Amino acid sequence: MKTGIPPLIVGNWKMNPQSVSLSAKLGAEFKKRLSAISGVDVVVAPPSIYLESVHRARNSSKSYALGAQNAHFAQLGAHTGEVSLPMLKDFDVSYIIIGHSERRALGETDVLVNEKLLAVIKAGCTGIVCVGELKRDHGGHYLSHIEAQVRKALVKVSRTKLSQVVVAYEPLWAIGTGKNATPADIYEMKLFIEKVISDIYGRNYAQKVRVIYGGSVSGKNAQELFVDGMVDGFLVGGASLHPEEFIQIVKSVRER
């Protein structure tokens, strides 16, 4: 864990739940349960169309921050189907997930990820940049892949803005599969990502970037992954739709 920076737990609801009333119910449930927990930064990222209902359900409690699963880099204009940062900020969104593998699979490139990160930083929000390999190989090529993703995402990002950057290591083979990376794998990758960032900015600045893990994180494995994986938090998909389990994950990062 980084000195003076709390761990971060992000709930990525993806394209769930199925109705606005269910999203409001979940938003209210999290508000109730999270208000008693401190020392952890919690972000809930519903589909954009549900941001208003979750924003209302959360009310002014600020027991969690709101996140978006994507944003366009432009302020406004002819971008059919997109949502801009000023629109998201109207609903108090402060974290944006960028380059999730499910979006990269639809054609989101490293260049686009970088453009989005620069726009997110400029808007005063925090970007959660997702990186991850499709599979692991014995030759260690997956490490070069991760290094390239991190370096390309950070092009033109000033070192003074690094506290607005989070890197989420999400190996594709672990997402939604029930097969999480081992704590040793996670620890190795966390150190590796920090080294890549240190090589660009120097160690002190690199310490501002939280490196979190995502991929089949559950109430059952969170504590071990946090303690032995030494990560700064988690990006949680499936389990973030179940309040009981999500809270268990949040509680698991209070101590190491």
Minimal CA–CA distance to 69: which of 101, 40, 35, 97? 97
Residue-level length of the chain? 256
Smallest separation (angstroms) from ligand PGA to the CB of 43: 12
Contacting residues for 244 by C-beta, under 8 A, at least 6 apart: 219
Longest dimension (CA), the chain: 51
Burial label, 213 (beta-carbon count in 10 A; 0-12, 13-18, 19+): buried
Contacting residues for 180 by C-beta, under 8 A, at least 6 apart: 174, 215, 216, 217, 218, 221, 225
Binding-residue total with ligand PGA (CB under 6 A) = 13
The residue among 170 and 194 lying less far from ligand PGA, judged by its C-beta, is 170
Candidates 53, 167, 237, 241: give the one binding ligand PGA (CB under 6 A).
237
Q: Assess 252 for contact with ligand PGA (CB under 6 A).
A: no
Amino acid letter, 250: V
Smallest separation (angstroms) from ligand PGA to the CB of 198: 25
Site for ligand PGA in 201-230 (CB under 6 A): 214-217
The residue among 129 and 206 lying less far from ligand PGA, judged by its C-beta, is 129
| Omega before 17 within 30 of 0, i.e. cis | yes
Minimal CA–CA distance to 170: which of 199, 193, 154, 196? 193
Distance CA 109, CA 115 (A): 10
Q: Assess 176 for contact with ligand PGA (CB under 6 A).
A: yes
* Known active-site residue 170: yes
Catalytic one of 102, 108, 170, 194: 170
Candidates 238, 242, 243, 248: give the one binding ligand PGA (CB under 6 A).
238
Q: Assess 249 for contact with ligand PGA (CB under 6 A).
A: no
Q: Assess 17 for contact with ligand PGA (CB under 6 A).
A: no
Q: Assess 175 for contact with ligand PGA (CB under 6 A).
A: yes
Contacting residues for 245 by C-beta, under 8 A, at least 6 apart: 218, 219, 239
* Known active-site residue 224: no
> Among all residues, whose Cβ is closest to ligand PGA?
237
Smallest separation (angstroms) from ligand PGA to the CB of 174: 6
Distance CA 129, CA 105 (A): 15
Smallest separation (angstroms) from ligand PGA to the CB of 77: 29
Smallest separation (angstroms) from ligand PGA to the CB of 215: 5
As annotated, the active-site residues are 100, 170
Residues that bind ligand PGA (CB under 6 A): 12, 170, 175-176, 214-217, 235-239
